[in-house]
Structure 1
Amino acid sequence: MRLRAALAACLTVLAATGAVVSLRPAPVHAAEDGGAPYWVSLRNSLTNMRVGPGRDYRINWVYVRAGVPLKVLRQMEGWVLVEDSEGARGWMLTQFVARKAHTGIVKGGIAEIRENKDGSGALLWRAAPGVIARIGDCSAGWCKVDIDGRQGYVRQDAVWGAGAP
């Protein structure tokens, strides 16, 4: 009961001072965020995702695998707001993500890796959901992938992180 009274008092003070309080996230504008959204991948095998842009904010997720693809939604003073393939959002230091190493993660079901860039040719192998692939050029709905040194082509819609963010 005391907490509710304290919260009501704080909101009353904020309203009296003319402060604006919003519980919804601010919209992301690409012009303000250096071209966001864009793809990045994790540099390290142990990376914290925080609820806010600072070391004082609590950790809401710990990634334990390097190369995980993420979508950058916003940038702020050395921090990026990112989203992963499962929709989890949070903040990371920019030093923990790489823009050059473009990766994707197999989503949904098993993805067939084909021999030719148009999807024709032999079936080389199948990749399970969650497999991380280095993404090459994408055209006509197919992307070149490199998975642990094995190369082939996969349907673009089978990989989260391929195409425009």
Structure 2
Amino acid sequence: MMSKRIVIAGWMLVMGLVAGTGLSAQAQGTSIGPSGLKVPRFVSLKSDRVNVRGGPSTDHKVKWVFRRAGLPVEIVHEFENWRQIRDSEGEEGWVYHSLLSGRRTALISPWQTAGTLVSLRKDPTEEAGVTAKAQIGVQVDIKECEQGWCEVSVRNYNGWLKSNLLWGVYPNEEIN
């Protein structure tokens, strides 16, 4: 009985240290993961069927399935070939690395009321003409971001949006 408690206490200590390491990395902003890339970072789903698991192996149960290629997700942790991701609703789970793409996409203001329209601008200024209007929640491809604005495309429309209207881009992130 005593040895079982020691093993459990030891396991809890190890898990606490691992969790503490993850929190300190998040508190510091970004770090470099085992892949050699920054964590956290935004990526997109490569496939239109992606299983999200409860842990970093196929031994863990599937929590849910994404069914939309190109959807942006945020990598918040890496373990070997597995990536812990967060979606736009704040849900987290684990995905095998080959199901993710470096292609940058974003969702237009998914936190706003459905049906709201935002204006895509001809240039990265509030005064620029409107090239198109897009609904909240629409997935866009990111072409570039600079000085708080991102050039995006959706279907056959291109335009500029303020980066704070996009889920899939960090504040003041530069993308070329």
Which letter does structure 2 place at the counterpart of 1:96?
Answer: L
Superposition pairs for residues 8-157 of structure 1, below 5 Å? 13-17=3-7, 18-21=9-12, 22=15, 26=19, 27-28=21-22, 29=25, 30-33=31-34, 34=36, 35-99=38-102, 101-107=103-109, 108-109=111-112, 110-157=117-164
**CA drift at 1:138:** 1.6
Give the match's secondary structure for 1:15: helix
% identical aligned pairs: 25
* Residues 1:82 and 1:150: Cα distance change in structure 2 (over 3 Å): same
Runs of 5+ in structure 2 lacking a partner? 26-30
Structure 2 CA distance for aligned equivalents of residues 120 and 95 of structure 1: 42
Which letter does structure 2 place at the counterpart of 1:19?
Answer: G
TM-score (norm 2): 0.78
Structure 2 CA distance for aligned equivalents of residues 66 and 32 of structure 1: 24
User: Relative to structure 2, which stretch is displaced further, 108-117 or 137-146?
Assistant: 108-117
2:28 aligned partner: none
Structure 1 CA distance for aligned equivalents of residues 167 and 132 of structure 2: 19
Checking the alignment, whether the CA contact within 8 Å between 1:119 and 1:154 is kept in structure 2 is no
Runs of 5+ in structure 1 lacking a partner? 1-8
Which letter does structure 1 place at the counterpart of 2:104?
Answer: H
Q: What CA deviation, in whole Å up to 9, does each residue of 1:22-60 have, x standing for no partner?
A: 479724332444321111100011111111001111111
Give the number of the structure whose alpha-carbon radius of gyration is greater: 1
Q: CA RMSD in A?
A: 2.2
TM-score (norm 1): 0.82
Alignment: residue pair count? 154
* Residues 1:106 and 1:14: Cα distance change in structure 2 (over 3 Å): farther
Q: Which runs of 4+ in 1 moved over 6 A?
A: none
